[in-house]
Amino acid sequence: MHPRTALLAALPLLCGAQDVPTERTSHIGRYVGTISGLAAPRAVTFDREGRLWVAEGGDAATSARVRAFGLTFGEDGALVSSAPLEARGEGALLSPAGLAVDTPGNVYVTDEARHLVLRLSADGAVEELARAGSATGAVIQPAGLDIGVLDGADALVVSDAGNGRVQVMGLGDGAWRALPRGPLVRPVDAGIMADGSIVTADAARQRLDHFGPSGAHLRAFSDWGSFPSLVSTPLGLDAIGSLVLVADTENHRVQAFDPAKELPLAYRFGVHAILPGEGEGKLHYPRDLAARHDGDLIAVPEPLDDRVQLFARAPGAEPVEDTLRASIGGPSAHFGPQASASGQFLVTCSPESHKVQLHDVRFDDPVKIADLFGYGTRLGMLRGPSGLWLDDGGETLLVTDAGNRRLTRVRLEVKPDEPLAQMPDVAVYEDALDFSRIDLSALPGVNLAPGTAPPIIPGAVCRLTTPTGPVIVVADRGSGALLAVADDLQPIGVLTAGDDWRFGAVTGLAPLPATEGQERGVAAAVDGAAGPVALAYLPGAQPAADEPAWRLLRGEATDADGLGGRRSGGIVFQGDSLLVTLPLACRVGRLRLRAAEDPAGEAGRRELVRAPGFGAEGLGRAEFLDPRGLAVLGDGRLVVIDHGNHRGQIFGAEGNFLAGFGSRFYTAQLRR
C-alpha cells in the first residue's frame, strides 16, 4: 500500500468522527487490536465519548458485570492501550445478553437468565425497567438492545426473545409498546437504521427482518447455512449508515447487509480461529458487535476466548479473504449442551448443524453410527436442540427444541450387541408435543391468572419411572418451572404446588436414584447467585414431613470444587455421586448422596454432602473450556461434553481420564 493511502486509511481513527464513507469506497474489517483477559464478554456498545462498554458473564473468580474501557490508538491505527475506567452492576447480574448507553451515560443491560432489563446509573443505582412476564413492558429471556430515535423521540429497543417480539421503551416517559410481531420467532438483537427503520436477527428462523419506522414488516432476508449471505445463529448486529453488520456466530464471521437492496450482502470478513487463542482478525464464536458512532470502528466480543477484537475502516469494497483459511463447508462440530446414554448407546447434539448424533460406546472411544434430525420446522427437524434423553436401552429418544418449542419422541430401531455398523435409517419420528399450543396458566399447580403466563420454552428433559407409569420432566426456560408430561405426551402439571413452583434457569436434569424401587423426583442444575442444585419431587410423592416439596442445596462461596459458582451446566448421578458441570470454573463438581442421620428414626431420608470434584481450565486431559452435558455409560464411565474444546472426554468413577472423542482435538495429548 502506498504510504499516503495508508495514512488516509488511518485518519478516521486519529481524528475522531468523520463522514462515514460509503461501502463502495471503504469497509469495516481491518483488524487493529484485541482486549484480552476479560471474563466471558457477551455484549458490547460504545458511548458518545468513544469509550467501549463490555458486559462480562463472569468466571470462577469474577461476577458478571459491565465495564468501560478507554481506547488509545497509535499513528498506524493499531490499538495501543485499553484501560478499564469503571465497573457497574457487580452482584446484580447473572447472564447479561444486551448492552446500550444513553447520552447522559446510563447503562442499560438485559439479564436473560433472570428475565430483567436493568438501568445502571453512574452513582451505583440499579433500576429494574422490565421483569419476567408476557404483558407489554415485561420480558422473557431479553437479549440485544439498541438506543436511537423512533417517532422523533429517544427510545430503547429491546429484543424480547422469549416472547418472540421487539419492544420499545421511551427514554423520556418510560412508556412501553410492543412492535408488531410479523414473522418473528426468537429475535435476539435489533438495530435502528439511520432512516428510523429497524433490523432484527432471529436465531430460530435464521433470518434477518427489516421493519419500517411504523413497525410494518418490509422483508426477511438471509437463511440458515454457511455460504456467503447465509447465517448460522446470528446473535448480534449494529447499523452503520445504510448497512447492518451481523455477528454470524456459528459461521465465525461478520457480514454486512444493505436491507434496501434486492441482493443485500455487501461484504463479509473473518475466518474460523482454529488454534487455541488464535485471533488477530480470526474469529471464534463472535456473540455480538457494536459500532462506534462515527462508523469507523467496531468491537466484536468472543466469550469462549475471553476477548474483544477491534476492526477499523479500510479502503476498498471488501476485505481480502485468507483463501487458505476461508472455506465453505458444514458448520463446525461443537458438542453440547446436553448428552444422554442408555444401554450401549450415547447421544450428543451439534447446535450448529441442528443434528443429534447416535454413538455406540462398547469401545474405548464412542463411534458415531447415525446422524438424526436436521434444520427445519417439520417433524423430525430442529431449530435449536436444547435437551436430550435416551431411554429403554437406546430405543427411545426424547429431544426438546427451543426454536420450534416442542418435544419430539423418536423410536430408534437399534440392534444391541450386533457388530458395529452405521445405521442411517435408525430413527422413526413418532410424535411431538407442541408447547406453543399449551397455556402454562391452565396447568395444575401454576398460580398465574389466565392469559398472563409466559410462553413455554423447553430445555433440559428426562424421564422418570413412577408407580403409575413413566413421567417426562421438561425444564421450562420461560417460567423457570419443571413441567410434568405423561408418556402419551399430555401435560400433567408442574412438579411442585403452591407458591414454590418456579426453580429458575434450569440447565440440566437427572432422575433421583430409586428409593425402595421407585424414583420419585429429579435433581436439577440451576443457575443462580449461589450456584444451587435443586431436588424436586413429583406431585403425589411423600417426602418426609419436615421436607419441603423442593429444596436447594448450595455450596459455600469458598468451595474449592466451585459449587458456590454462579453458573451450572449438566447434571447426572454416577453411583452415589451427583455430578454437576461448572462452566465458569471449568470443573466437574461432586456431591455424595447418603442416608441422612435422623434422630426420629424416620426411614428414607437422604442428604447430599460435598466431595472432591475434578478438572481445570485448559486444553489437555481432564481440562475443560465451558464444560456442559454429562452422561453415565452402562459400564459406569462418565462422559463430559467439553463444549469449548470441540470434544467429549471420558472418565472413570473417581474422575480419572480414560479417553477423548470428537471431530476436532486441539491437543496432542488427546490424539491417539
370 lies in some domain: no
Please report, for the domain that includes residue 621, its CATH number.
2.120.10.30
Residue after which a domain boundary falls, among 273, 296, 315: 315
Q: Could you give the 3-state DSSP secondary structure of residue 6?
A: helix
399 lies in some domain: no
148 lies in some domain: yes
Between CA 50 and CA 297 the distance in angstroms is 10
Q: Please give the grid coordinates belonging to residue 487.
A: 408418556
Q: Which domain holds residue 58?
A: 3-17+26-315
pLDDT in tens, 56-65: 999 888 889 9
527 lies in some domain: no
Note whether 566 and 504 are within 8 A (CB): no
CA distances from 604 to 18, 341, 360, 398, 643 (A): 73, 28, 37, 30, 37
408 lies in some domain: no
Give 524's strand partners.
Answer: 509, 534
pLDDT value, residue 11: 39
pLDDT value, residue 601: 47
Residue after which a domain boundary falls, among 274, 290, 315: 315
Q: Please give the grid coordinates belonging to residue 70.
A: 478507554
Average pLDDT across the chain, whole number:
86
Q: Where are the alpha helices (DSSP H) in 392-498?
A: none
Between CA 559 and CA 514 the distance in angstroms is 29
Find out whether the peptide bond into 337 is cis, omega within 30 degrees of 0.
yes
200 lies in some domain: yes
437 lies in some domain: no
When pLDDT is cut at 50, 70 and 90, the band that residue 462 belongs to is: very high
Look at the block and give the residue holding cell 502506498: 2
pLDDT value, residue 539: 63
pLDDT in tens, 500-550: 788 888 999 999 887 655 557 888 998 875 566 887 877 655 554 455 556
Which of 207-221, 360-374, 409-423, 515-529 is the least confident region? Answer: 515-529
pLDDT value, residue 535: 78
What percent of the chain has pLDDT above 70?
A: 84
| Residues near 22 by beta carbon (within 8 Å), at least 6 away in sequence | 241
- Who wins on pLDDT, 439 or 520? 439
Between CA 344 and CA 86 the distance in angstroms is 53
pLDDT value, residue 624: 92
Residue after which a domain boundary falls, among 264, 291, 315: 315
* 28 phi and psi angles, rounded to 5 deg: -90, 135
Mean pLDDT on 23-43: 89
When pLDDT is cut at 50, 70 and 90, the band that residue 557 belongs to is: very low
pLDDT in tens, 372-391: 999 999 999 999 999 999 99
Helix, strand counts (H, E) of the chain: 1, 50
Which of 245-249, 405-409, 544-548 is the least confident region? Answer: 544-548
Q: Are strands 616-617 and 623-624 parallel, antiparallel or unpaired?
A: parallel
* 250 phi and psi angles, rounded to 5 deg: -85, -5
Report pTM.
0.90
pLDDT value, residue 448: 86
268 lies in some domain: yes
Q: How many domains does the chain have?
A: 2
- CA nearest 5: which of 58, 76, 60, 69? 76
Q: Could you give the 3-state DSSP secondary structure of residue 644?
A: helix
Largest CA distance in the chain: 87
